[in-house]
Every structure is written in structure tokens, then in C-alpha cells.
Structure 1
């Protein structure tokens, strides 16, 4: 039973669309790493409750967590050049990759910060006091005492966020990027919609493989840093 699907064409499309994987992975890596750095900064500001930045970051987190990623892409792509133009910066010729990455960084930074903040707050105050009492610097305390206790709490959510990031890239075609989904849409358009089901199925298989690989990498990292062992011993 083939349900009317040309599976040989699906395999052909998988091979063709796979040429966009490196570009998609580039956006994923940039957005994931920079989003995590942004989230760390935002989480730190909200934990310390710095007077000026705290309300700004709270509004930022609330807005980006309450609105779709697609909206953020449009706002960054169409809105940022208008804002920068007011400061004499003309960004109309900037790469679409930059806009797409920035939108995903902002989107994921908001979500990831809400995974890091409660994980940090879950560490008992006595742990902080004990580290301070022996003269540890802030960085040393965080690296040796706080981070090892934060990771087991935050990691499952971080892993899910990285998987979601892969799927979030599927909407970047709306601003003309030729990533996996963008190439699939281009193929369908060039072929006037012929066998579009097969093309979409091919794209789905590729996303499935990438998310599976990301999950496995996260699991390897989890084992490498001993998160599972810490959870069981806790």
C-alpha cells in the first residue's frame, strides 16, 4: 500500500533538500549559542533584580514568550531597519541570515532565561553562604558550586528548547531564506505544485533526522557531565 505517494520521488527530494542542511545548521548553532548567552544575562539581571534593567528584561521575556516566533521574524526583519534608520544606520542591505538569527536569538533567549532562573534559585542559600565563607570569588562559586547543581534541574528543559529551535527554523522561509523549508517551498513553486506532498514528506524526514541527532547529542552531553548520575544520587 503506497497511499498514492511516489516514494522514489521522496528519496530524490530528500537528497536534493539535504543540500540546505549545512545552512540550516549554521542558523541553529548561532541562534542556540547566542540565545543561551543572552538568556544567561537576562536570568542574571532578573535574579539580582537590578533596578533599571529588571523591568525591561521582564517585559522582554513576557512579550517574547507570549507571541509566536513567526511574529518575531517579521518584527525584526521589517522593523529593525526602520528603527536603525532613525539613528542614521541603514540596514536594508543586511543579510537575511542576520535577521533570522537575531529573531531566533531573541525568541530563545526569553525562553531559556526562564529555565535558567528557577534552576539557579533552586540552589539552597546555604550553598551560597558556605562558598562565600571560604572566600570563593563569584565566578569560582558559580563554576564549582552553583552550576553543577543548576544543570540537573535546567538540562531537560534546555534539551527540549534546542529541539524546538530546530523546528522553529522551519518558518524562516517567510523572509526568503533558502533553508530546508525554504528550498522545499522553492521546489514546489518551480514545479507548479506537482508532487508537493512528496516534497513536504521529504522535508519532514530531514527535520526528523536533525531533531533526532540533536536529542542524541544532548543525551551524550548529559552523560559526559554526569547529569543523570547527579539526579539519581539526589
Structure 2
């Protein structure tokens, strides 16, 4: 099989791969920040909820989260009068990945928060700043900078996990590779998946480069 045909077929699924990767990662980051905030509350109930979700998130395989999102979430929504039968499969893939990795992101942000010198709160309060302003202007920027290396690692984990969305019928690069191999009865399967692996590797290098550029220009701690 012509190499150009293989590359063209696989790259046809690249837009879906990137779309699901970026949106699910951003949503998971928001969930992670929320989990961090809940885990830092004074009451035991809030901390218990955060620990429970984090444990479930980290202990459940991403593939299972995707399947639960695609097959069971519409049934749950049906109970509250929402018909999700015609929703895009991408939405369920994004939700499944985001919820599945939210616990990991929460731990990333929590560890970074605990690395920040907490005496900065007292110093800020002494000059009349409110807690929300201290968090917004002083603490959270530092949390983000400290967490950047781990955020990069999580993003690359998302990239690899995004290949699982083929199980719910999304035409991403992995599904296109599988379909192409099946069409040719597995004759060119090795070549197809070698090319797929190289494409994922190049995408990884590209995003690593972007992260390094950002860290070089913006890290000030």
C-alpha cells in the first residue's frame, strides 16, 4: 500500500483527535481546580467528597469511563427529561475523559498549592487584601507555574488516552487505522500501525515543544 494513502487516511481523523484532546483537557483542568478547592476546605464532608471522587477517578480505567459516559450518561439524563440520544459522540468522549482524569488534575493542583509558601496569605491580609484577591493575584499564578511540568505530563497522557475513543465509534486516527487494516484484511496492518505510532510521536514532540516555549517565556519562580 502506498505510504501517502496510509498517511492521508490516518490524518483524516486528526481533527477529531485534537478537538477531543484539547477540550477534554481544559474541562478536566477546571474539574481539577474545583476538586483542589474542595479538598482544601475546613469541613470533613468537603474533604471526604474530594477524596472519594479523586479515588474513583484515579482507580477507574479511562476506557471504562468512556463506556459509562457513552452508554449510561444518556440514561441518567433521560431521568431529568433531557434527551441525549442525538448528541454527538464527541461530547460523551470529552465528558468521559475529563471526568476520568479530573482526579489526577486535582492532585496536580493540590500538590502545587501546598508547595506555595502559605505565609504569603498572612502578608497579603496584613496589607488589607481579601482572600479571593490573594488567591487570584498571588497564589493561583504560583500554583499554575509550579504545576506546569506535571500539567505537561498529564496533557501527554490525555493524548495517548484519546486514542481510546475509537471504542464508541468516533473516527479518530486510531479508528481510521483499524478500519484501513480491516479493509485490506490485515495485510498492511504492521505498516499502518507503525505510521500511526510515528504520527502520535510527532504530535507529542510538537506539544512538548510548545510547552517548553511557554515555560521558558512565562516561568518566573
- TM-score range relative to shorter protein: over 0.9
Give the 5 Å matches for 1:145-224. 145-224=138-217
C-alpha contact 2:60 2:100 (8 A) present in aligned 1: no
Which TM-score applies when normalising by structure 2? 0.92
Cα 1:143–1:224 change in 2 (3 A) is farther
The answer for the alignment partner of 1:3 in structure 2 is: none
1:151-209: CA deviation from partner (whole Å, max 9, x where unpaired): 34311111100011100111110010101101111111222222111111111111111
Residues 42-78 of structure 1, C-alpha deviation per residue, up to 9 Å, x if partnerless?
1111112455543333211101101210111111111
| Number of aligned residues | 221
Question: Any stretches of 5+ residues in structure 2 without a counterpart?
Answer: none
2:112 alignment counterpart: 119
Q: TM-score by structure 1 length?
A: 0.87
CA distance, structure 1, for counterparts of residue 56 and residue 87 of structure 2 = 25
Q: CA 1:196–1:15 in 2, change beyond 3 Å: closer, same or farther?
A: same
Counterpart of 1:48 in 2: which secondary structure?
A: coil
Structure 1 position 76 matched with structure 2 position 69: yes
1-side partners of 2:80 and 2:8: how far apart?
A: 45
Partner deviation per Cα, 1:20-57 (whole Å, 9 max, x = no partner) = 11221111110111111111111111112455543333
Matched, 1:97 2:97: no
Q: Distance in 2 between matches of 1:214 and 1:205?
A: 14
Cα contact 2:17–2:163 (8 A) shared by 1: no
Distance (whole Å) between structure 2 residues aligned to residue 122 and residue 222 of structure 1: 18
Q: 1:49 to 1:175 in 2, by over 3 A?
A: farther
Query: Over aligned residues, Cα RMSD in angstroms?
Result: 1.8
CA offsets per residue over residues 113-170 of structure 1, 9 Å max, x none? Answer: 1000121122222111111111223343123321343234311111100011100111
Give the 3-state SS of the residue equivalent to 2:146 in structure 1.
Answer: helix
Indicate if the aligned counterparts of 1:35 and 1:108 stay in contact, CA closer than 8 A.
yes
Counterparts of 1:94 and 1:148 in 2: how far apart (Å)? 36
Q: Which moved more, 1:162-171 or 1:183-192?
A: 183-192
Question: How far apart, CA to CA, are the structure 2 residues paired with 1:60 and 1:178?
Answer: 30
Aligned residue in 2 for 1:134: 127
Q: Report whether the alignment pairs 1:21 with 2:22.
A: no
Pairwise CA distance, 1:90: 2.4
Partner of 1:91, secondary structure, is coil
Contact 2:116 2:143 in 1 (8 A): yes
1:17, distance to aligned residue in structure 2 (A)? 0.9
Task: Find the counterpart in structure 1 of residue 79 from structure 2.
Answer: 86
Paired with 2:3 and 2:103, the residues of 1 have a C-alpha distance of: 37
Structure 1: give runs of 5+ residues left out of the alignment.
1-5
Whether the 8 Å contact between 1:11 and 1:202 is mirrored in structure 2 is no
